[in-house]
C-alpha cells in the first residue's frame, strides 16, 4: 500500500482524487454507490450569489471520447448551499472545495465572504464564466480580469484559494502567473474547452445553448500540456484535471506537475471511477516500488 496522502495549501487529503465541480452535485447521489469518505475531496457544483436556473435543455451532447455540456451555473445560490448542502457535506470526512463563480468580481467576493463562517476547507474560484461588467468575456481569458477577480476574492477570504483556469486562451501560463501574483494559493486546471455539435438532419445545434464545454478523454493531452506549462511558470500547487479516467491518467497529470487530480466526465461513464482510480494509482505505485505519491509530483523529465 503506497501512501496516497497529499497536502495542498496546508489541507490534508487522504488521497489526491477529487470528483470535479459540476459532475458530482453535492455528493448525495454518488453516496448511494460508496461512502464519500473514500474520496480525497469533493469539489461542489459552482455556486453563485443568487439562485440560477442554468441554460435550457438539451444540455448534453456526446463527442468522440468526450462530451459537451451547457448546464450553465444552475445552483440554488450561496445561502441555500450553506444552509442545506454544506452541513451535510462537512460530516463526510473528506475535504470540501466550494466551487464559486459570479458575473462580477463583487459577486465572487461576496460569495467567498459568506463561506468565511463555514468550515469549508478550500475555495475554488471558477473564472471561466462571463464577466458581465466587461462585456461578457470570461474572467479567465484576460490577465487583468483574472487578476482583478482573484484579488477581490482574496480580500474577502482567508481560506485557501484555488483559482480554476480556463483552457480557452492563447497563454494559460500568463493567466496562471496573474492569479498567482494576485494572491491565489493554488490553481486548478483545466476547465472545459468550448465546443459545438450540430444535428445534421434538423440542422440545429444539439445543445439548446448552441455551444458548450468539452470534457472527457478527448481533452486529456491538452490538460497534460497545460499542467506541465503552468507548473513551470508558477510556484503555487496545481490541481490537475481534464479527461482523467484511470489511475495511469492521474499519475500522468501528477508527473506533469499536479499535486492532486479531479475527475469529471469519467464519473458518468463509471460512477465508481474515482474509487477505481484511487485503487489503480495505488497498484501502479506499488508495482514501481514508489512509497508515496507525493514523490512523483512534477518529476517528468523533459527531453
Partner 1 sequence: MKYTQGLYPIIEKKAIALDTYSFTLYCPEVADIAQAGQFVHILPENYGLRRPISIAGIDPENGTLRIVFAIRGKGTKALANMNEGQRMDMIAPLGHGFTLKPDAEHVVLVGGGIGVPPMLPLAKYYGNKATAISGFRSFRQVILQEDFEQFGTQVITCTEDGSAGAVKGFVTAPLEQFLSEGIDAVYACGPLVMLKAVAELCIRNKTYCEISLEERMACGVGACLGCACQTKDEKGEIHFQHVCKNGPVFKAEEVLF
Phi, psi of 132 (to 5 degrees): -65, -30
Q: How many residues bind a second copy (CB under 8 A)?
A: 52
User: Mapping DSSP to helix (H, G, I), strand (E, B) and coil, where does residue 177 land?
Assistant: helix
Task: Report which secondary-structure segment, H or E, holds 155.
Answer: helix 143-156
Question: Which among 7, 8, 29 is positioned nearest to 19, based on CA atoms?
Answer: 29
Minimum CB separation from a second copy for residue 206, in Å? 10
Residue 192 interacting entry, from partner 1, ligand FMN, a second copy, none, C-beta within 5 to 8 Å by type:
ligand FMN
Under rule CB under 6 A, residue 142 binds ligand FMN: no
The separation between CA 131 and the C-alpha centre of its own chain, rounded to angstroms, equals 19
Those residues whose C-beta lies under 8 Å from the C-beta of residue 257, and which sit 6 or more positions away, are: 227, 228, 230, 231, 232, 238, 240, 297, 298, 300
Q: In what order do the strands lie in the sheet with 186-189?
A: 17-19, 260-263, 238-240, 186-189, 161-164, 122-126, 95-100, 41-43
Residue 204 interacting entry, from partner 1, ligand FMN, a second copy, none, C-beta within 5 to 8 Å by type:
a second copy
Q: Which stretch binds a second copy (CB under 8 A): 11-19, 119-127, 162-170, 270-278?
A: 162-170
Question: Which among 177, 214, 240, 235 is positioned nearest to 43, based on CA atoms?
Answer: 240
Residues engaged in binding partner 1 (CB under 8 A) = 22-25, 28-30, 32-33, 45, 53-54, 56-62, 65-67, 69, 71, 74, 206, 216-217, 265, 267-272
Which cell numbers hold the place of 103?
A: 458575473
Minimum CB separation from partner 1 for residue 217, in Å? 7
Closer of 12 and 34 to partner 1 (Cβ): 34
Question: How many residues does this entry show for the chain?
Answer: 303
Minimum CB separation from a second copy for residue 36, in Å? 28
Q: Which of 13, 16, 18, 22 binds ligand FMN (CB under 6 A)?
A: 22
Minimum CB separation from a second copy for residue 302, in Å? 5
Under rule CB under 6 A, residue 192 binds ligand FMN: yes
Instruction: Please state, in angstroms and rounded to a whole number, the distance separating the CA atoms of residues 8 and 17.
Output: 12
Q: Which of 9, 60, 80, 169 binds a second copy (CB under 8 A)?
A: 169
The separation between CA 41 and the C-alpha centre of its own chain, rounded to angstroms, equals 11
Q: Work out whether strand 66-69 and strand 95-100 pair parallel, antiparallel, or are unpaired.
A: unpaired
User: Mapping DSSP to helix (H, G, I), strand (E, B) and coil, where does residue 189 land?
Assistant: strand
Closer of 106 and 270 to partner 1 (Cβ): 270
Query: Residues 191-210 vs a second copy: string with x where CB under 8 A?
Result: --xxxxxx-xx-xxx--xxx
- Within residues 217-276, the interface with a second copy by CB under 8 A covers 217-222, 224-225, 228, 243, 248, 251-252, 255-256
Minimum CB separation from ligand FMN for residue 105, in Å? 16
Instruction: Please state, in angstroms and rounded to a whole number, the distance separating the CA atoms of residues 144 and 167.
Output: 16
Under rule CB under 6 A, residue 256 binds ligand FMN: no
Q: Work out whether strand 122-126 and strand 11-13 pair parallel, antiparallel, or are unpaired.
A: unpaired
- Could you list the residues that contact a second copy (CB under 8 A)? 61, 63-66, 68, 141-142, 168-171, 193-198, 200-201, 203-205, 208-211, 214, 216-222, 224-225, 228, 243, 248, 251-252, 255-256, 284, 288, 296, 299-303
- Could you list the residues that contact ligand FMN (CB under 6 A)? 20-23, 45-46, 69, 71, 73, 99, 126, 164, 191-192, 215-216, 219, 241-244, 263-266
Amino acid at each position: 500500500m503506497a501512501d496516497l496522502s497529499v497536502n495542498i495549501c496546508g489541507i490534508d487529503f487522504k488521497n489526491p482524487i477529487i470528483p470535479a465541480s459540476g459532475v458530482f452535485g453535492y455528493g448525495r447521489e454518488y453516496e448511494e454507490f460508496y461512502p464519500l469518505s473514500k474520496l480525497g475531496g469533493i469539489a461542489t457544483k459552482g455556486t453563485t450569489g443568487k439562485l440560477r436556473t442554468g441554460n435550457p435543455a438539451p444540455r448534453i451532447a456526446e463527442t468522440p471520447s468526450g462530451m459537451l455540456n451547457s448546464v450553465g451555473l444552475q445552483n440554488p445560490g450561496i445561502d441555500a448551499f450553506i444552509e442545506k448542502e454544506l452541513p451535510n457535506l462537512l460530516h463526510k470526512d473528506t475535504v470540501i472545495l466550494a466551487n464559486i463563480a459570479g458575473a462580477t468580481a463583487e459577486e465572487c467576493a461576496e460569495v467567498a465572504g459568506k463561506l468565511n463562517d463555514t468550515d469549508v476547507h478550500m475555495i475554488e474560484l471558477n473564472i471561466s464564466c462571463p464577466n458581465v461588467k466587461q462585456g461578457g468575456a470570461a474572467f479567465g481569458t484576460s490577465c487583468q480580469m483574472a487578476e482583478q477577480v482573484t484579488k477581490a476574492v482574496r480580500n474577502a477570504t482567508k481560506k485557501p484559494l484555488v483559482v480554476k483556469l480556463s483552457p480557452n486562451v492563447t497563454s494559460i501560463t500568463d493567466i496562471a502567473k496573474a492569479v498567482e501574483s494576485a494572491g491565489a494559493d493554488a490553481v486548478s486546471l483545466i476547465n472545459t474547452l468550448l465546443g459545438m455539435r450540430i444535428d445534421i438532419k434538423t440542422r440545429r445545434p444539439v445543445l439548446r445553448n448552441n455551444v458548450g464545454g468539452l470534457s472527457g478523454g478527448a481533452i486529456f493531452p491538452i490538460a497534460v500540456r497545460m499542467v506541465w506549462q503552468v507548473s513551470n511558470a508558477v510556484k503555487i500547487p496545481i490541481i490537475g484535471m481534464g479527461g482523467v479516467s484511470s489511475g495511469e491518467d492521474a499519475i500522468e497529470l501528477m508527473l506533469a506537475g499536479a499535486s492532486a487530480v479531479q475527475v469529471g466526465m469519467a464519473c458518468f461513464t463509471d460512477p465508481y471511477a474515482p474509487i477505481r482510480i484511487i485503487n489503480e494509482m495505488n497498484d501502479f505505485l506499488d508495482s514501481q516500488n514508489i512509497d508515496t505519491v507525493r514523490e512523483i509530483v512534477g518529476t517528468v523529465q523533459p527531453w
